[in-house]
Amino acid sequence: MSAAEPPQSANSTPPGGSDAAKPRAWGEHTSAIFVTGTDTGIGKTWIAAALLRSLCAAGFRAVGMKPVAAGFAPGTSVNDDVSALCDAGNVDAPLDLRNPYPFAEPAAPHLVAAAAGVTIDIARIGDAYARLRARAGALVVEGAGGALVPIDRTHDMLDIAAALALPVLLVVGMRLGCLNHALLTALAVQRRGLVLAGWIANALPPRMALVERNVDTLTERLGLAPIAIVGPGEQPSFDATRLAMLGFAR
Ligand SMILES: Nc1ncnc2c1ncn2[C@@H]1O[C@H](COP(=O)(O)OP(=O)(O)OP(=O)(O)O)[C@@H](O)[C@H]1O
Ligand SMILES: [Mg+2]
């Protein structure tokens, strides 16, 4: 993992709100983040699981949540991402809190929900989130697909982040097209009044040409250096400084 220089925040409000920079007593406060990405299949779970492992190693009681998941692992009724986040955390919690809206079909959430006759209720997601918060000191919430993926006729993934009042971590899958996707996502986050806590350049295989130049371009246009540049096959670990940048400070 590279990007050693501490990133400068593009937001005047620190990650997690104005209290984020204050020292917190252990157990006093639960910190949480919403992980979105430039697309589906670009490493949100890869990074979210790594973040959870780092939080556990740093002494947090950490739990992952995937509010809406579409697609079950073969022969199971559990989504792969939900299992991966569960394995990476260290808090026991019922599956229906970790993943209140599971769908078997691997397709767009609003379509699979409609096909199943289910309305995705953000208030119910909020209730599950609140119950997870009561059990954990750190929460990592993974969206499905990208930031504006619909969950019904009028709501999308960022509405979940907004309802949970979470800062956003943007995982950029370093592929051709990622500059446009990353900048559009940052615009959407800003327009919703959400805080972009940071971004991660995930250079998943096959490694694209000119990764560093693309990272430089995004750094300049976002006004924010990446929290990390993750290489192909690399399972990153986040040190206390980087965890604090994402609002996970003790
Ligand atoms: N840095 C990396 N090195 C190697 N493999 C990676 C890396 N990042 C992601 N992958 C792999 O790429 C695939 C997609 O990653 P992942 O499942 O994390 O994406 P996602 O954005 O969470 O997808 P979804 O939209 O389905 O939730 C997985 O097989 C994952 O193991
Ligand atoms: Mg995922």
Q: Tell me the pLDDT tens digit for each residue of 133-143.
A: 999 999 999 99
Distances from the Cα of 246 to the Cα of 32, 148, 223, angstroms: 9, 22, 16
Q: Write a three-state SS string for 111-138.
A: HHHHHHCCCCCHHHHHHHHHHHHCCCCE
Is any atom of ligand 1 closer than 6 Å to the C-beta of 43? Answer: yes
Residue with tokens 């246009």: 221
d(CA 97, CA 168): 20
Map residue 77 onto helix, strand or coil.
coil
pLDDT at 30 over 50: yes
Paired tokens of 94: 């019922």
* DSSP E strand stretches across 119-195: 138-142, 168-173
Range in 26-40, 90-104, 211-225 the model is least confident about: 26-40
Residue 250: per-residue pLDDT: 79
Q: Does 230 sit in the ligand 1 pocket, CB within 6 Å?
A: yes
Q: What number does the ligand 1 atom closest to the CA of 66 have? A: 27
- Is the peptide bond between 206 and the residue preceding it cis, with omega within 30 degrees of 0? yes
Q: Is 222:208 a contact under the CB 8 Å cutoff?
A: no
Report the range of poorest mean pLDDT among 21-30, 82-91, 105-114, 121-130.
21-30
Q: Is the pLDDT of residue 22 over 90?
A: no
28-32, 91-95, 135-139, 202-206: the lowest-pLDDT one: 28-32
Q: Output the pLDDT for position 13.
A: 34
User: Predicted confidence band at 239 (pLDDT cuts at 50, 70, 90)?
Assistant: very high
Strand order in the sheet with 228-230: 62-65, 138-142, 31-37, 168-173, 196-202, 228-230
Q: What tokens appear for 157 in the block?
A: 């993934």
Q: How far, in Å, is the centroid of ligand 2 from the Cα of 44?
A: 5
Q: Report the alpha-carbon distance of residue 227 to residue 129 in Å, rounded.
A: 25
Ligand 1 lined by 181 (C-beta under 6 Å): no
**Mean pLDDT across the stretch 63-87?**
96
* Residues paired with 138 in a beta bridge: 31, 62
Q: How does the average pLDDT of the chain come out, rounded?
A: 90
Residue 11's pLDDT band, with cuts at 50, 70 and 90, is very low
pLDDT category at 2 given cuts 50, 70, 90 is low
Residue 142 Cα to ligand 2 midpoint, Å, equals 7
Q: Is the CB of 206 under 6 A from ligand 1?
A: no
| CB-proximal residues (5 Å) to ion ligand 2 | 44-45, 81
| Axis crossing angle, helix 44-57 with helix 80-88, rounded to the nearest 10 | 20
Residues 6+ apart with CB under 8 A from 155: 120, 122
Least distant ligand from the CA of 44: 1
pLDDT of residue 1: 63
What pLDDT does residue 8 have?
A: 40
pLDDT at 23: 33
Paired strand residues for 177 = none
> Poorest-confidence range of 13-17, 57-61, 83-87, 115-119?
13-17
Q: How confident is the model over 155-167, as pLDDT tens digits?
A: 999 999 999 999 9
Q: Is there a catalytic annotation at residue 66?
A: yes
